[in-house]
Amino acid sequence: MADQVPSMVIASTAADDSAFEQHCSEDAMWTGSRLIIGVVTFAFAALGFAYFYLRSFNSDNLWRPHHVTAPTSTGTAIFAIVLASAALNAIGVRRLKRGLQIDWEVAGWVAVMGGLLATGLQIWEYTELGWFPGSSGYASCFVGWGALNAALLLGSVYWLETLLARSIRLRRALAEDGGAAISQLPPARLFRGSLDGATYFWWFAAGINLVFWLMFYVIT
């Protein structure tokens, strides 16, 4: 009996350590996803500062000579697709929380396709420009915005695609524990934590696209 007591203490300590490590991993994932949003915000804030600085000074009337504007229809389509993709993923996540994993996977893959389409349109829009990048302040800022937005969308797509692939791998492993949607096993909990961060990031991407769509296509 005396030999069993230390074993029970060791087992209890190991369980506590495992629970603590799991909690730390989930907290790190939550914090990391929000820090990524903060870092990316600084990049777009720098572009926003350049936009309003050049626009306000308008040296030698070179901010937007001849009232040049990027193709409005293409820019509006990009914004609409990104917003729809973020909303569709969010709806899918709500379905996932109800245990409907297939519904989220379908919504997620459609969102991935939407993100790729928006990225392609953002790159293709460069071919529609009737001016050179250095021809004006507006042109320079717009070209910088296009590159940053394409990188933002590709990052969003990559994050969501990796979660979809992980969901497929976890489906069989977690089937007996209710699936990735409700399982309390460590892989399922980490998966849901990463998905929560990805969902916030998609809404962030949609918000960024709204702000710069207004800047480059509406108020100019």
- pLDDT score for 20: 53
CB neighbours of 19 closer than 8 A, spacing ≥ 6? none
The alpha carbon torsion through 110, 81, 120, 115 (nearest 10 deg) reads: -40
**Cα diameter, the chain:** 91
Q: Which domains are delineated in the chain?
A: 37-219 (1.20.120.80)
Q: If the chain, 220 residues long, is cut into consecutive pieces of 10 residues, what is the mean pLDDT of each piece?
A: 49 52 67 86 94 86 81 94 96 86 91 96 90 84 93 95 87 64 70 87 96 88
DSSP class of residue 69?
-
Burial of 122 (0-12, 13-18, 19+ CB in 10 A): buried
